[in-house]
Structure 1
Amino acid sequence: MPSHLARLGVFPIINCGSMRSFYGNTVALPEVVEAMAEAAQTHVIMEELKEAVSLRLAELTGFEAGLVTCGSAAALFLAAVACTAGNDPEKMLGLPKTFGTKNAVLVPAAHRFIYDHAFRLAGLRIVEVHSLADAAGVLKTDSVAMICYLGMREKAGAMPFNELARLGRANGTPVVVDVASEFLHRPNKWQHHGADIVIYSCGKFMRGPQASGLLLGRQDLIEAAWRNSAPQQAAGRCMKVGKDQMLGAVIAVEQWFAEDRFNLELDRCFDYLGTIEKELKEEPLLKTAFHQTTEWSVPRLRVSWDDMPASPHANLLRASLLKGYPRVLICDFGMTSSSFLIDAFSLRRDDCHIVAKKIVEFFRSGAHNDRPGDQLLMLNDLAGTWAVAIDFSAGREMHKFIIENSANGLDAVHSGLLFDAPMVVKGMLDRLEFTSKVPFEGVHLYYRFTGRPVSHGLEGDVVMGAASATNSGPVAAAQFGTAHWRAKRVDLSG
């Protein structure tokens, strides 16, 4: 165990979940660590380093220029300000105010995602379109600064990328493609089909510095992004990238192409998953199947079991595997009540046996007979309108619960500042749970209120988060932390 982490009381995990920022992304290559250590012990003129990094990234990837950012979400922001403010000092320093100039980003409706909040930080309005005809109309009549396309949703909706890019070129509007969690290929299909900027994470598949992203594309736009980023005194000053991260990212890209890492990593994942699958077959309750969504995605192993009243819930397995040492993490992405996915990309060979052994031990231990949530009973005496005071860290806000008895149990609505959403109510006499899933922009907000009856009404804590509809596991749904709440029934008779 690393001594400095142990001194802080932080215990590492064996990550067979995913390369999410929640789990520290990936493990950097030795060559990357060495390069970062070298840069950390030197002084350089950052402008010179930026120029050298841009040239080298261009040579490696085939784009005109490149910029290392502090993650791919920051790359989205810098792409936006490059397109709307460029290097005009008044526009740059006036952000997020856009002075009525180009202040919109066009996004296919099926491509809205949790990170497009970066556009609003840059002062841009998000304009959803549902067809190429819609897009053409918006480009003619609205002040569109850029078009954003989410690469992983390429097959969602009826908007082929090359056609959307053609509209952008005809209108002189830059097209930005976010493929942060995909493999970097050369030649690059997005560039070939007309993308002006393409965004990748360098802290995932390429095993670069954890908080590093790549902004690749047109020379003028990449230069404008640099002018808006640190060390310049502009809107991106708070997204500083150190010299060690810049050099480490370049070395990661060099290694990615020098070793044909794409195929090497795929072969390694299949090898490790095969090892785990072989050992899991020792437990007759478990079923396994390989799972790969596209030819470009990392293969995963789906582990499942019969969903019966006495069988364990996957969340219980997840919590159990994180106990003791070594700790094993399975991700909530793709999890159901009776299955989960093993992602082998972040594993070492010696981890495979540990992962399989701990899973098998859990199912043989018999410590999983209590499925969480199965004993919750509906309460019919909660009907009414409740004023709900939530004490957030920035102050108190008032929400509302509207609960009615119905033939099916309870119909409930959670009403916030900007929404009204269906709410699920469960509980026993001393434990209540209210959960809601609220559509908001391109994602969903998640609230889970837990509490109990008290003299003045109801009281407890709420756990909050946000995620896409497909990645709504317990980690993302709790990422915004907790707040205390109190509820009082409102008398509407008068």
Structure 2
Amino acid sequence: MSNDVYARLGVTKLINAAGTYTAIGGSRMSSQTLAAMAEAAEHYVNIRELQSAVHQKIAEITRNEAAYVSNGAACGLALCAAAAISRLKQKSFELLSRDEVESCEIAILRAHRNPYDWALQFTGATLNEIGYPNIIQIPDKARLIEEIGPNTAAIYFAYGPAGGWLPDGAPSFEIVAQVAKEKGIPLIVDAAAQVPPKSNLWEITRKGATVALFSGGKDLCGPQASGLLVGEKDFLQSVTDIGFPNYGIGRLFKVGREELIGLLSAIEQYLAHDEDLRATQAEADVERICTGLRGSNIVQASRAFPNEASQPIARIRLEPLTMSVDVLQKRLLESEPSIFAGVERGALYVNPMTLSGDEVDIVLSALQSLDSGTL
């Protein structure tokens, strides 16, 4: 019998050349993080005591008032929405009636609507959409203030520059932060994929976010089922009062001792690594693949920046010359080993941030094989 768990299950392993997409596994944990999780699994502890210690340590090393580990950034959004509603109604969330919850609104810029904001509606709150997803009539400060009413529990803001996965049409983060502060309502900032740079772990809250949320399983390279919330102490205490292991809505979002210790370990390593060196290595990988494909009859390779999540990491844009982009993606998936590359705006993209060891050469070799007809 094979020692490979995926082979035993008949599941195809992938080389991830797309980026930190959750649907294909996000990122790899380091041996140090895996060892920390294994150690955590060997012993019983009081979960509330462990949460308190881990949250305090993460807050300290990320330069924030407080922190909270959720079982994913989307679950963190749901907890933040529940906390905001509870604070607005000045009542424990589990004691609120459906009518009381449904009367609450989360203000959101229409340019920031995305599949993840469903988590905000999970609580029962209504989304108040502001503006348009284009540059016509971008809401100014006066318009935002006008949209904030007595039933507004919080403002949601998706962090990242327009032109990546976000369309134009949103006012600046600074303007939204000013409005939230003047109106005295929480500003919930979704920054799930917005590391690197690592400074976002403290700069977003420093600039005015009540709470900023990050995926634990993307570039932080923590457990896939983990998310990080950092921000104001009072607000995150409200999240803590609702979240696991309490009963009520938070009970759905269990976080084990393994995830708590694993994410702490991953963050400690992330803060210690050389960000500039990593960006330089990515540039070298991009140059290697582009040079190796110069003169190709199958694809035209060029450097693209930033990457799909608007992170400051270079990637390779592959424009197919003799086949559709979907066929090109399929050919790579059918190669041995199977390679998953991202499709975006009519081109295939290779992101070096999730490639390790000899995988850059494997991807280049597969693409070169398309030219020779051996793939």
Gaps of 5+ in 1: 368-494
CA distance in 1, matches of 2:311, 2:352: 15
State yes or no: 1:365 paired with 2:366: no
CA distance 1:68–1:87, change in 2 (3 Å): farther
Instruction: Say if 1:229 and 1:237, in contact at 8 Å, map to a contact too.
Output: yes
Residue in structure 1 matching 2:263, options 243, 249, 258: 249
The corresponding residue for 2:326 is 315
Query: Residue type of the partner of 1:127?
Result: N
Q: What is the deviation of 1:252?
A: 0.9
Identity %: 26
> Which residue does the alignment assign to 1:178?
190
1:99 alignment partner AA: E
SS for the counterpart of 2:117 is helix
Distance 2:145 2:260 in 1: 38
Distance 2:4 2:295 in 1: 36
CA distance in 2, matches of 1:96, 1:236: 17
Q: TM-score, normalised by structure 2?
A: 0.88
User: Match for 2:325: what amino acid?
Assistant: A
Specify every segment of 5 or more residues in structure 2 that has no aligned partner in the other structure, as ranges.
Answer: 132-138
Does 1:34 pair with 2:35?
Answer: yes
1:79-129: per-residue Cα shift (whole Å, max 9, x none)? 111111259896422568252686110111211111111111112110012
Amino acid at match of 1:272: D
Name 2:109's counterpart in structure 1: 108
2:204 pairs with 1:198:
no
Amino acid at match of 1:198: A
Q: Does residue 298 of the first structure (1) align with residue 341 of the second (2)? A: no
Which has more helix, going by share of residues? 2
TM-superposition CA deviations, 1:247-306 (whole Å, max 9, x none): 11111111111223x323322222222222232226344322110138843211111243
The answer as to whether partners of 1:182 and 1:297 remain within 8 angstroms in 2 is no
1:133 deviates by 2.2
* Contact 2:36/2:265 (8 A) holds in 1: yes
Amino acid at match of 1:122: T
Q: Answer yes or no: is 1:126 the counterpart of 2:127.
A: yes
Determine which of 260, 276, 280 is the counterpart of 1:267.
Answer: 280
Q: Cα deviation per residue 1:311-362 (whole Å; 9 max; x = unaligned)?
A: 2112112112222531111122x251xx311101111131111111112212
Counterpart CA distance in 1 for 2:295 and 2:360 is 14
Matches within 5 A, 1:322-337: 322-332=333-343, 334-336=344-346
Residues 106 and 244 of structure 1: CA distance in aligned 2, closer, same or farther (over 3 Å): same
Q: State how far apart, in whole Å, the 2-side matches of 1:152 and 1:96 are.
A: 35
What is the Cα-based RMSD across aligned positions, in Å? 2.4
Structure with bigger gyration radius: 1
Contact 1:62 1:186 in 2 (8 A): no
Which residue does the alignment assign to 1:442? none
Aligned with residue 243 of structure 2, among 207, 214, 229: 229
- Give the residue type in structure 2 aligned to 1:188: W
Select the residue among 147, 171, 175 that pairs with 1:163: 175
Q: How many residues align?
A: 358
Return the offset for 1:211.
Answer: 1.8
Aligned with 1:162: secondary structure? helix
The 1:158/1:75 distance shift into structure 2, 3 A limit, reads closer
Query: How does the TM-score come out when normalised to structure 1?
Result: 0.68
Greater shift, 159-168 or 206-215, is seen at 159-168
Q: Which has the higher strand share?
A: 1
C-alpha change, 1:98 and 1:61, in structure 2 (3 Å) is farther
Alpha-carbon distance in structure 1 between the residues aligned to 2:239 and 2:227: 13
Alignment deviations for residues 159-217 of structure 1 (CA, whole Å, 9 cap, x no partner) = 22222212211221011111111113167332222111001112111111112110111
CA distance in 2, matches of 1:341, 1:97: 45
- TM-aligned CA distance change 1:287 to 1:50, over 3 Å: same
Residue 135 (structure 2) aligns with: none
Conserved? CA contact 1:12–1:327, under 8 Å: yes
Partner SS, residue 188 of structure 1: helix
Cα distance change of structure 1 residues 2 and 253 upon mapping to structure 2, 3 Å threshold: farther
Per chain length, whose mean CA-contact separation is higher, i.e. which structure has more relative contact order (CA < 8 Å, sep 6+)? 2
1:344-493 to 2 correspondence within 5 Å? 344-365=352-373
